[in-house]
Amino acid sequence: MKTKRIVKVGECLNLSAKFKLIYHIGIDDQDSIMIRVAENEGGGYFSDEWVKLDTILTKLESAKKPLTSFSLHGIFEGKSANTPGFIFAVLYVEGLVERDLDNPRVYVSCDPKPVIEVIEALIKAGTDIKVSNIHDGAKTSSSKSAPTKKQNSNKS
């Protein structure tokens, strides 16, 4: 799983709709469809590891209903608590989950077949998007917080 071919670069809002995420959909050397979060404008840490779509779908199928981002805990090697929520936002924008009609704070799974068909068409067309290297698990927001009083004070 060293080499990935990126077939789609997308963007979406996080689940609270406060900041933008950039994500990649790709395939590995066994043609498994994979997803990762690549950038986050919100400044929080996340893991940019690739996760197989089959692993995500299996986890959602076996998860307690209704679904939340907590349904994805345990499938990431990285330890960031943000990653499941960010991936869940990707699943939402891609049409793999939708908000529950009775409770819009939770989600239900959607039929993955139409989404997979679109991705497979990109694969078959030979789509291969080149992106610059993404640094592992970094905060990708370009804004920096202001120094605190303690950081500004000079000890004599």
Taking the domains of the chain in order of start, what are their residue ranges?
5-132
**More confident of the two residues 90 and 147:** 90
Written as six digits, the tokens of 44 are 């929080």
Angle between helices 83-94 and 53-62 (to 10 degrees): 100
List pLDDT tens digits, range 11-69: 999 999 999 999 999 999 999 999 999 999 998 899 999 999 999 999 999 999 999 99
List pLDDT tens digits, range 106-123: 999 999 999 999 999 999
Residues 16 and 117 sit within 8 Å (Cβ to Cβ): no
State the average pLDDT over residues 129-152. 53
Instruction: Give the pLDDT confidence score for residue 109 in this predicted structure.
Output: 97
Instruction: Give the pLDDT confidence score for residue 3 in this predicted structure.
Output: 80
d(CA 49, CA 76): 8
